[in-house]
């Protein structure tokens, strides 16, 4: 019981520190990650619902306390109302996606990335991708995410112990969840946040973190197949 309380307090402090920056998007992603891992780890559903309610209330307090977050929510509802100020970024993103059409403008031929769309290489890279590769390219990319989700779930189900299984689930949720949130922001399905698209957005820290998470998932896969045990046994015999 004491270990559980310490874990809850530690996770709560971690999320509060992220909110203090303030960085609501990363805090939300971290909360979703911990919630899913708790669900898969056997935490009672009543406790999970309580934590989800507490997280929702905390998010609302953060939005009401920070003016720029409040503007992001209001501009998300109707970005065309103030398309030159608070809704400018989302409007430019939607224009980029819409101009992509079925087959896109072609690789490297995006117009919106020419200083029209802010943060086009990081937080809104999917909009540029959609403009250059169109609906067909976006469909293939979403198909890749589905395949990656299936592989992550398959690795988790084949893990031999609960610790490795939870690590594999966490890695999959973190990469796929961040990708979904990024795409949702670029398409206007949720308020604007500052989450990069794993493996695609420009930035060394994001790329290193994404590869690190993918490496942990690969390690879980190797352990689930017994490959690590075979290598260790060979080394012991030699």
| 144 sits in which H/E element | helix 125-158
Tracing tokens 């905390």 back to the chain, one arrives at: 58
For 191, the 3-state DSSP assignment is coil
C-beta neighbour count of 32 within 10 angstroms: 17
Q: Which of 11, 42, 65 is the last residue of a domain?
A: 65
Residues 60 and 72 occupy one common structural domain: no
Residues 83 and 58 occupy one common structural domain: no
Residues 89 and 197 occupy one common structural domain: yes
pLDDT for the residue numbered 233: 44
pLDDT for the residue numbered 237: 47
Residues sharing a CB contact under 8 Å with residue 202, sequence separation 6 or more, in sequence order = 121, 122, 125
Residues 80 and 150 occupy one common structural domain: yes
Q: Could you say which residues of the chain have pLDDT below 70? A: 1-5, 226-238
Residues 15 and 89 occupy one common structural domain: no
Residues 106 and 120 occupy one common structural domain: yes
pLDDT for the residue numbered 143: 93
Range of the domain at 40: 1-65
Residues 29 and 111 occupy one common structural domain: no
Q: Sort residue 155 into left (φ over 0), alpha (ψ -120 to 50) or beta.
A: alpha
Q: Which of 9, 41, 65 is the last residue of a domain?
A: 65
pLDDT in tens, 170-225: 899 999 989 998 998 888 888 877 788 888 888 788 889 899 999 999 888 888 77
pLDDT for the residue numbered 141: 92
- Cα–chain center distance at 128: 18
Count of domains in the chain?
2
Q: Which of 50, 65, 80 is the last residue of a domain?
A: 65
Residues 33 and 124 occupy one common structural domain: no
Tokens, residue 6: 């310490």
pLDDT for the residue numbered 160: 81
pTM: 0.83
Residues 94 and 149 occupy one common structural domain: yes
Cα distances from 140 to residues 128, 189, 215, in angstroms, run 15, 20, 24
Residues 9 and 53 occupy one common structural domain: yes
């Amino acid at each position: 019981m004491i270990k559980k309380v310490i874990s809850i307090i530690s996770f709560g402090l971690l999320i509060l520190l992220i909110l203090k920056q303030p960085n609501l998007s990363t805090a939300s992603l971290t909360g979703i990650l911990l919630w899913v891992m708790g669900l898969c780890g056997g935490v009672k559903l009543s406790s999970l619902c309580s934590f989800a309610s507490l997280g929702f209330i905390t998010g609302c307090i953060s939005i009401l306390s920070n003016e720029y977050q409040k503007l992001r929510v209001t501009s998300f509802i109707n970005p065309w109302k103030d398309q030159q100020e608070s809704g400018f970024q989302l409007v430019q993103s939607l224009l980029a996606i819409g101009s992509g059409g079925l087959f896109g403008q072609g690789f490297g031929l995006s117009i919106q990335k020419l200083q029209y769309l802010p943060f086009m290489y990081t937080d809104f890279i999917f909009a540029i991708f959609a403009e250059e590769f169109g609906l067909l390219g976006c469909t293939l990319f979403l198909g890749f995410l589905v395949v990656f989700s299936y592989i992550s779930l398959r690795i988790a189900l084949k893990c031999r112990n609960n610790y490795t299984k939870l690590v594999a689930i966490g890695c999959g949720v973190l990469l796929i969840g961040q990708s979904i949130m990024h795409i949702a922001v670029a398409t206007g399905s949720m308020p604007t946040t500052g989450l990069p698209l794993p493996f695609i957005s420009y930035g060394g820290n994001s790329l290193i973190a994404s590869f690190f998470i993918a490496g942990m998932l690969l390690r879980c896969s190797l352990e689930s197949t017994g490959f690590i045990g075979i290598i260790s046994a060979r080394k012991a015999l030699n």
